[in-house]
Structure 1
């Protein structure tokens, strides 16, 4: 992007109608380099406390590795892969007596100074890239129903309401090495939005609805709106839900009293 821009963002998190919160989400601003942000959501699974410990581990690993990340020289795709692999290893080594083995999904995006973006996901937490209100790309779930869609046995619409839509084919903490899918956006543009979210959110929206909300509202208002709408549509049976939203916006014109900064923290 040749013209100046700013990055705004928001995190949304709600327990839904579940007894325990096993989702986690964070949006991190690089401690030294402006314009570098990392968004992560993790949907924990595995008993009453096992899921939360797994998603907590994803965020702990993320923070530790991002603090040491050097945007000018380090490989952004390698950072995301390292986060996933190290979190997977630690979750696998976690022993929780009398509970199921802990697992977690992961959906993470890393915006580089200058507007390049990388993302990675494992499981059925999703990443969306919108330009204006138009969907550019979203991740495909590592799930049983997505495999049926890939085989032409289900439509994407049928997959949402399928009775086995909650069966995950790969995530962090499993005995098998998780399938980690990555993507690179060469250049984000002003008007672009990124959304990372768990199934407790995306289950209740079409891509068109998500794109419209992100385009027309600020990240904070969009997260509040989407949480409220998901809660309404769940009708008392909603899962934990979490999201991270980042939006690329034009710089406001400097006022006489103060000039706008090129970046602001989410």
Structure 2
């Protein structure tokens, strides 16, 4: 069995509203982590992100998914709920939200995940980035076609233009999910974060701060400090949120 430590933060940055949300739930076998970045204006985004987190966690807790395909279905059901909650003429009339969801089976040592939009999940092994999700965005498409490099995503003027997020018509929604559960090793670290964080912190910064951090809370705090320093020239910089899971071998019974 794996022992898990979780830490999270959500900061409104230089904005009037914090439209990010994150949360987690666990049973005696599963940990489910969800992070979302809402959009909609005048408070609609914060409603959308909270709704996405609450719905996914509630539905997962009722019937924990064992496969990525089941997790994808939960994201699509959550999309339907978000659309049904819209109210014309109010802040809720055009709600959207990115979402990323990570599930760890700490008895079987496996993980699976699904996402829509440009909120990311990073997977670290031995302190290095092993894998990450691929954004549903215009600039990620340009990277995939060889027009841009990964590093150019962070400074591209259209980096915030999404191809998909919750709130789209079901037939238009893109959800990416791992087809097979991935084996998790003791010492692996996972990070879920919104674009307000990863826009300022490249892989090298993530890895160097992780190597220096004594625990998850300290790492999250260092990431927040780094974002504030990097965004100091922008008085209205975006909300930023992060949730990290550190794994280790559980003590023998």
**TM-score strictly above 0.5:** yes
- Distance change (3 Å), C-alpha of 1:76 and 1:215: farther
Which structure 1 residue ranges, 5 or more long, are not aligned? 252-259
Within-5 A mapping of 1:49-128: 49-70=43-64, 74-93=65-84, 94-99=86-91, 101-112=94-105, 113-128=107-122
Deviations 1:189-232 (A, max 9, x none): 11110111100011111112212333442111111111111011
**Superposed displacement of residue 182, structure 1:** 0.8
What secondary structure sits across from 1:47 in the alignment? coil
Counterpart CA distance in 2 for 1:89 and 1:216 is 42
Task: Check the 8 A contact 2:72/2:176 in 1, yes or no.
Answer: no
- Distance change (3 Å), C-alpha of 1:147 and 1:7: same
What is aligned with 1:178? 173
| Displacement over 4 Å in runs of 4+ | none
Deviations 1:120-152 (A, max 9, x none): 110000111100211111111111111111111
Deviations 1:48-89 (A, max 9, x none): 11111111111121232122135xxx5342442233112211
Task: Check the 8 A contact 2:68/2:181 in 1, yes or no.
Answer: no
Counterpart CA distance in 1 for 2:35 and 2:185 is 23
**Residue 229 in structure 1 maps to residue 226 in structure 2:** yes
Counterpart CA distance in 1 for 2:36 and 2:74 is 12
- Distance change (3 Å), C-alpha of 1:248 and 1:109: same
Deviations 1:86-123 (A, max 9, x none): 22111212124155611000111000122100011100
Paired positions, count: 245
Task: Check the 8 A contact 2:69/2:177 in 1, yes or no.
Answer: no
Which structure 2 residue ranges, 5 or more long, are not aligned? none
Give TM-score scaled by structure 2 length: 0.90
What is aligned with 1:256? none
Query: Over aligned residues, Cα RMSD in angstroms?
Result: 1.9
Counterpart CA distance in 2 for 1:160 and 1:103 is 22
Counterpart CA distance in 2 for 1:108 and 1:199 is 15
Counterpart CA distance in 2 for 1:192 and 1:215 is 12
Give TM-score scaled by structure 1 length: 0.86
